[in-house]
Amino acid sequence: MATQLKNLSDFSNTTIPNAGAYRFGIVVAEWNAKITGALYEGAYKSLVENGALEENIFTHAVPGSFELTTGADLILQHKKVDAVICLGCVIQGETRHFDFICAAVANGVTNVAVKYVKPVIFGVLTTDNEQQAIDRAGGKHGNKGVEAAVTAIKMADLAHQLQN
Active site residues: 97
DSSP string, 110-144: HHHHHHHTS-EEEEEEEESSHHHHHHTEEETTEEH
Could you give the domains of the chain? Answer: 24-163 (3.40.50.960)
Query: Which has more confidence, 157 or 94?
Result: 157
Cα separation of 132 and 91, whole Å?
A: 9
Residues 65-106: tens digit of each pLDDT: 999 999 999 999 999 999 999 999 999 988 888 999 999 999
Helix, strand, coil % in the chain, rounded to nearest 5: 50, 20, 30
pTM: 0.94
Which tens digits make up the pLDDT trace of 9-46?
788 788 999 999 999 999 999 999 999 999 999 999 99
Per-residue model confidence (pLDDT) at position 1 = 46
* Cα distance between residue 152 and residue 32, in whole Å: 23
